[in-house]
Chain A
Amino acid sequence: DTGVSQDPRHKITKRGQNVTFRCDPISEHNRLYWYRQTLGQGPEFLTYFQNEAQLEKSRLLSDRFSAERPKGSFSTLEIQRTEQGDSAMYLCASNPGETQYFGPGTRLLVL
Chain B
Amino acid sequence: GQQLNQSPQSMFIQEGEDVSMNCTSSSIFNTWLWYKQEPGEGPVLLIALYKAGELTSNGRLTAQFGITRKDSFLNISASIPSDVGIYFCAGQTDGGSQGNLIFGKGTKLSVKP
Q: Do A and B bind each other?
A: yes
Contact of A91 among B31, B43, B97, B105 (CB under 8 A): B43
A45-B92 contact in complex given A98-B31, A98-B48, C-beta closer than 8 Å: no
B34-55 contact mask (Cβ, 8 Å, vs A): 1 or 0: 0100001111110010100000
Q: Which B residue's beta carbon lies closest to that of A55?
A: B98
Report the separation of the CA atoms of residues A95 and B45 in the bound assembly, to the nearest whole angstrom: 12
Interface of A is mostly: strand
Interface check B100, CB cutoff 8 A: yes
A89-111 contact mask (Cβ, 8 Å, vs B): 1 or 0: 00101010011111111010000
Interface check B104, CB cutoff 8 A: yes
- Size of A's binding interface in residues, CB under 8 A: 28
Binding site for B on A (CB under 8 A): 4, 6, 31, 33, 35, 40-45, 48, 50, 55-56, 58, 91, 93, 95, 98-105, 107
Assess the B105–A102 pair: CB atoms within 8 A. Answer: no
Assess the A31–B103 pair: CB atoms within 8 A. Answer: no
Interface check B88, CB cutoff 8 A: yes
Chain B 84-105 residues near chain A, CB threshold 8 A: 88, 90, 92, 97-105
Determine how close the nearest CB of chain A comes to the CB of B1; give it in whole angstroms: 9
Interface check B33, CB cutoff 8 A: yes
Chain B 53-94 residues near chain A, CB threshold 8 A: 88, 90, 92
Contact of B101 among A4, A40, A43, A56 (CB under 8 A): A43
Assess the B48–A99 pair: CB atoms within 8 A. Answer: yes
A102-B92 contact in complex given A33-B100, A45-B101, A55-B98, C-beta closer than 8 Å: no
Report the separation of the CA atoms of residues A6 and B4 in the bound assembly, to the nearest whole angstrom: 27
Report the separation of the CA atoms of residues A56 and B45 in the bound assembly, to the nearest whole angstrom: 23
